[in-house]
Each structure stands twice: as C-alpha cells, then as structure tokens.
Amino acid sequence: MKTQLFILLLLVTACAGNPGKKQGERVITVTIEPQRYFTEAIAGDKFKVISMVPKGSSPETYDPTPQQLVSLGESEAYFRIGHIGFEQTWMDRLLKNAPHISVFDTSKGIDLIYGEGHTHGDHYHPGGVEPHIWNSAANAQVITSNIYKALCTLDRENESYYLARYDSINQRILHTDSILSSILTADADSAFMIYHPALSYFARDYGLEQISIEEEGKEPSPGHLKNLIEHCKAKNVRVVFVQPEFDKRNAEIIAQQTNTQIVPINPLAYDWEEEMIHTARSLSPALSKREGEGR
C-alpha cells in the first residue's frame, strides 16, 4: 500500500505543484501542531509552516496523503520532533523523495525518558524513548532554542528578527511554567490516570504520577484493568484524562469503578499554552470545579 502511495506521488508531482503555496514563499514542514505553534512564533512571516500530522490524527500511526508528499517536496527544511512513531516509520522514505530538504531535530539536548524494557519469550526488548517531549515547559524551552538555531542556519540575514521573536516565545513559556507551578501546589492532585501516556514529561516536571491505561501500547487486559482500578483508589486519583484520537471506553469503565472524573485533553493541540494550563487546572479540585461551572 505504501509503495503504491509513492508511485502515485511521482505521478502527481509530475502534473501539479502545491496550489496553496505563494510564489517565492519559503516553506518549512514540521511533524505535529504544537511544533507548528512554536515554529510560527519564531519564524513569523519569513516562512510558511506546515504540519504533517493534522488535527485529530495520531502521530503514532498516521500515514501522509499524496498531496502532503507533494507539498513536502516544496519545503526547504523539515523540523522533526524527535522520536514519534510517524517519524520512525516515514522519515527515511520521505527524505529519499525529497533529498534536498535540510532536517533539524528539535529534541536535541532534551533529557529523555526511556520506557522500561520487558522480556518476551526467550529474549529481551529494551525500552524505547518516551516521545511526547513537547508536553513540558522545560522541554519547550529546548525545542524553541533548537528552532531558533535552525531558522538562523536557514536564513542568516534575519537572525535579529528571529532572536526577538524567540525571546518573546521563551518569555511566554516561562510565564506558562510559573502558572503551572502555582496551580500544581500541595492542594492539587499528585497522581492522575490517562489512556495514552502522553504526559510523562509534564509529570516529571511537577512531581506527579502518571498512571497509563494502555499496556505497552495495547488495550489493557482484564487483569491490568483490575490492577489499575485498585491503584487508582490507593492513590486517590480524581481525574482520568482522555485524548480525542483514542477510544475512551476503558477510561469510562475505570471512572465508573473508581468514581473519578473523565477530562478530555488534547496534548496535540496547536495552542500549547492553553492546553498545558487546562491540563494543570484539571488537577486542582477548586479550579477544575470552577472551570466546569463556567462551561
């Protein structure tokens, strides 16, 4: 299927360009929407920024469309987020079809979290990198620094322009971090449950425990669900986070069994600041009640 997709790409590329691209416009492609938010904040009007994984899709399993592959050919750079499933599956193939593109890894310098390894039969599988690096104010500062450096490499004539905008977004990130720290005080929840473990770095930043419903990327077994329910009660978990791209039925079962509240979040949202603050407010009993009354 993927081979046929690339054949179709070659045919489409020969016949058409990207109708959304203005003449002379410089284009950068990124993987996910939060990355587009950071990149646009620094790039301003000097580059058009396109994300490969659209709203509502999972970057673990997404396959690009033929038109996206055509558009990628008109980009001069690709900013990868680091270790997400989409990049692991597609990056080499994308670059073979667009060898002119410069690639920048915006995860460079981040203190990565590694998953636990596990034994399967007679062999051992090492743990992989926890890829959701952007859900952290500390990591966001590293990501934006990498974006700033990449933009200066691509366009040295406008370094001062990028520096001013980088300083601005960095101040917003620091302000967001201060808001999150003030919300996640001793009165806030110390543990939360989530279907897909996308908040590992967020939990590390603020000393929280993330309890994942998924078991090694798969639907939880009945035994695992039972253990989750017991652990949820022992930790006085009040919130179960659910994401739009995942089935929430198991979360609903746990919520019923533990009398916890299901809270929709979207760690892949474009508006990174708003989403981070919403997530933190959901872990504050007083603020989450006020937020719910206001909706």
| Residue 225 and residue 141 share a domain | no
| Mean of pLDDT values over 59-88 | 92
The CATH number of residue 76's host domain is: 3.40.50.1980
Low-confidence winner among 8-17, 68-77, 121-130, 134-143 (lowest mean pLDDT): 8-17
Which tops the pLDDT comparison, 198 or 225?
198
Q: Tell which of 131, 149, 177 closes a domain.
A: 177
Give the pLDDT confidence score for residue 180 in this predicted structure: 97
- pLDDT value at 81 more than 90: yes
| Residue 227 and residue 157 share a domain | no
Distance, CA of 34 to CA of 103 (rounded, Å): 18
Give the pLDDT confidence score for residue 10 in this predicted structure: 42
| Residue 275 and residue 219 share a domain | yes
Give the pLDDT confidence score for residue 14 in this predicted structure: 37
| Residue 273 and residue 128 share a domain | no
| Residue 216 and residue 125 share a domain | no
Q: Tell which of 124, 156, 177 closes a domain.
A: 177
pLDDT digit string, tens, across residues 219-270: 888 888 899 899 999 999 999 999 988 878 888 888 888 889 999 999 999 9
pLDDT digit string, tens, across residues 264-294: 999 999 999 999 999 999 999 988 765 555 5
| Residue 141 and residue 26 share a domain | yes
Q: Tell which of 160, 177, 194 closes a domain.
A: 177
Q: For residue 216, name the pLDDT band (cuts at 50, 70, 90).
A: confident
| Residue 229 and residue 118 share a domain | no
What does pLDDT average to over the chain? Answer: 87
Low-confidence winner among 103-107, 114-118, 133-137, 257-261 (lowest mean pLDDT): 114-118
| Residue 153 and residue 61 share a domain | yes
Give the pLDDT confidence score for residue 117 in this predicted structure: 47
| Residue 287 and residue 144 share a domain | no
For the chain, the domain total comes to 2
Give the pLDDT confidence score for residue 193 in this predicted structure: 94
User: Domain of 260?
Assistant: 185-294
| Residue 225 and residue 171 share a domain | no
| Residue 24 and residue 83 share a domain | yes
Q: Which of 68, 76, 70 is nearest to 17 (CA)?
A: 70
| Residue 38 and residue 144 share a domain | yes
Q: ∠ CA 97-82-216 to the nearest 5 degrees?
A: 110
pLDDT digit string, tens, across residues 10-37: 444 434 444 455 667 999 999 999 999 9
Give the pLDDT confidence score for residue 168 in this predicted structure: 98
| Mean of pLDDT values over 155-164 | 98
The pTM of the full predicted model, rounded to 2 decimals, is: 0.87
Which tops the pLDDT comparison, 144 or 126?
144
